[in-house]
Amino acid sequence: MSETRFPLLTQIDCPADLRARRENQLPQLCDELRRFLIETVSKTGGHLAAGLGTVELAIALHYIFETPNDRLIWDIGHQAYPHKILTGRRDLLRTIRQPNGISGFLKRSESEFDSFGAGHSSTSISAALGMAVATAMEDVDRQVVAIIGDGALTAGMAFEALNNAGALDADLLVVLNDNDMSISPNVGAISNYLARILSGRAYTSVREGSKVVLSTLPQVKNLARRWEEHTKGMVMPGSLFEELGFYYIGPIDGHDIKTLIKTLKNMKALKGPRFLHVVTQKGKGFKPAEGAPVIYHGVSPFDPQTGKLEQKPRRRTYTQVFGDWLCDMAAVDEKLVGITPAMREGSGLVKFSEQYPDRYFDVGIAEQHALTFAAGLSCEGLKPVVAIYSTFLQRAYDQLVHDITIQNLDVTLAIDRAGLVGADGPTHAGAFDLSFLRCLPNMVIMAPADEAECRDMLYTAHRHPGPTAVRYPRGTGPGVPERATMQALPIGQAEVRRRGHRVAILAFGSMVAPCLGVGAELDATVINMRFIKPLDEALLTRLAADHELLVTVEENTLMGGAGSGVNEWLTAAGVDVQILNLGLPDRHIEHGNPIQMLADCGLDTVGIKQSIVQAAPVPLARILESA
């Protein structure tokens, strides 16, 4: 890092160094930090636009508060790259989201300045409230600050925490980073409240338009003016939060470092629940990101001068397969509706939202609501498809149990990012969905081996009159082109991909491809299981009779997963055969290169073959070793 190009930033190795600077040096530091962030992320890729919007805020918070004794709880971590740079990880930023590098999210084990680990949104206020209450109980001199974005504020959990904090009269500061943009454009009444009334843009527009309309009616015009003066206090930003028990200040310019410093200093001196509303611009200081904050939310490497993203030739992703299927299915079934909890781009719903706007529902960061909303739609005869990441489905488990499966409602879950997810790490890994879905009555669960099968499974799920789930991995598949004509698969029927001897490999979803390679090397039978629930029991019976070893392979935690389902059925049926279960280990797997991560878990061709050879009965092992 060049001291000549970043003379101030190179002197900041921790927040204490920052606090030693003169206040009039901070604008230059903001400029240097922003340039450093752009240059570094342009090489590594990662989250960019949100962090560019919080440069001044991060500097001001660490300048006023005595971190790490004072706690800063950043929501998610997308917006916390400047925080990482200021807290001893400046030179490590080049490793962010890389194998053995620092995390793209907040992580307690990474730094004492990361007060609370987070990769999912809307947890910051709850965590901060817990810390504030603990601080009071232990009589510690400490400030607690939660920093949350306006997108994250659409989640019910954030308001549960605000309601509780006001009732407890907790000594807590909540900073709302209002940039009018989460990952997808914000939706919902709360977002509209912040984006229109709070900013005053819509209020001003209506007010000016009304003047023209009312100018010909003098008495009504005078009444309207008096009414406007009377109601201003009722629609100003603080009303909502003050009713929840907070002392509200704002909105203030989040890029005016002088105002931020002064305001935070004043609010630090206060006690009780406090709420600071800061307005920022996502992508601030980098024109391409300012103009396209969604694209630059999470980016691949790019040209820091032009913003041109690095393009790599790629096959179609499973997400694209889903997005195209949804549009094709909607064209022939007017009852289909698509739902996403604030992940329109990530889940492949952009084209659907444009072609079928009246049948597209983005419910905001509200996974629980998304599923019960889908249940309500199903009750009235519609065919809802909920597009959701595996890791986010975890947040709506009770709704899946209570509102969908108990009532056996016709809801299709299109579960993206199943299995390991590479650079996003354990907070976003879809490592548990087969386990928590498989135990639910009425669920039908499928995992495609390739792109063509994914399309057919989605069609099968849509036709099935009950709760179904199709789980597929992040990124591309083997490259099997989809058929234009969709084909319904027989529920619970597996597919024999290769006939061999002595060993039968039962592969689920993404594991079919590597298992075919193993099957060829070991002359083993390879089954594309297709269905996790119900299992193909007739085929399992035949395989157990014809083979000496059954091997289940899945990209899901071994505990309670697809392999466990096979074990349970074999035991219940009284079938005596040796079985080997391969899957993700009982630990959270850190971020890294996706291919290497699978290899480290023994789920590549080499690892699967090695495990089979080691587990095989001695005579069989000798044969396999020579294969």
- How do 336-340 and 360-362 pair as beta strands? parallel
Beta bridge partners of 578: 549
Q: Are 65 and 147 in contact (CB under 8 A)?
A: no
Buried b / exposed e across 35-65, counting CB within 10 Å, b at 16+?
bbbbebbbebbbbbbbbbbbbbbbbbbbbbb
Tokens at residue 98, please?
Answer: 């890389």
H/E stretch holding 206 reads: helix 201-214
- How far are the Cα atoms of 578, 582, 623 from residue 523, in angstroms, in the given order? 18, 19, 10
Say whether 108 is catalytic. no
C-alpha span between 541 and 572 (Å, rounded): 12
Q: Are 58 and 9 in contact (CB under 8 A)?
A: no
Q: DSSP 3-state assignment of 493?
A: coil
Residue closest to 540 by CA, chosen among 579, 512, 592, 509: 579
C-alpha span between 358 and 68 (Å, rounded): 49
Tokens at residue 215, please?
Answer: 């100018």
Distance of CA 107 to the CA centre of its chain: 16
Q: Which of 367, 453, 554, 555 is catalytic?
A: 367
Residue closest to 156 by CA, chosen among 374, 395, 377: 395
Q: Which of 34, 90, 395, 474 is catalytic?
A: 395
How many alpha carbons lie under 13 Å from residue 112 in its C-beta half-sphere?
Answer: 7
Which residues have C-beta within 8 Å of that of residue 123, sequence separation ≥ 6? 75, 116, 157
Say whether 107 is catalytic. no
Say whether 395 is catalytic. yes
Q: Are 74 and 82 in contact (CB under 8 A)?
A: no
Q: Are 589 and 431 in contact (CB under 8 A)?
A: yes
- How far are the Cα atoms of 174, 182, 318, 612 from residue 344, in angstroms, in the given order? 28, 11, 15, 41
Other CB atoms within 10 Å distance of the CB of residue 193: 16
Tokens at residue 21, please?
Answer: 């600077």
Q: Which of 34, 89, 274, 282 is catalytic?
A: 282
Q: Are 89 and 1 in contact (CB under 8 A)?
A: no
Interhelix angle 512-522/605-615, rounded to 10 degrees, is 50
Q: What is the DSSP letter of 25?
A: G
Q: Can you spell out the DSSP letters for 550-619?
A: EEEEEEEESTTSHHHHHHHHHHHTT---EEEEEEE-SSPPPP--HHHHHHHTT-SHHHHHHHHHHHS-HH
| Identity of residue 205 | S
The answer, yes or no, to whether the previous bond of 68 is cis (omega within 30 of 0) is: yes
Tokens at residue 340, please?
Answer: 């996403």
Q: Are 592 and 99 in contact (CB under 8 A)?
A: yes
Q: Can you spell out the DSSP letters for 225-272?
A: HHHHHHHHHHHSTHHHHHHTT-EEEEEEETT-HHHHHHHHHHHHT--S
Q: What stretches of 17-140 adopt beta strand conformation (E)? A: 46-47, 71-74
Q: Are 533 and 471 in contact (CB under 8 A)?
A: no
Give the catalytic positions in this structure.
282, 367, 395
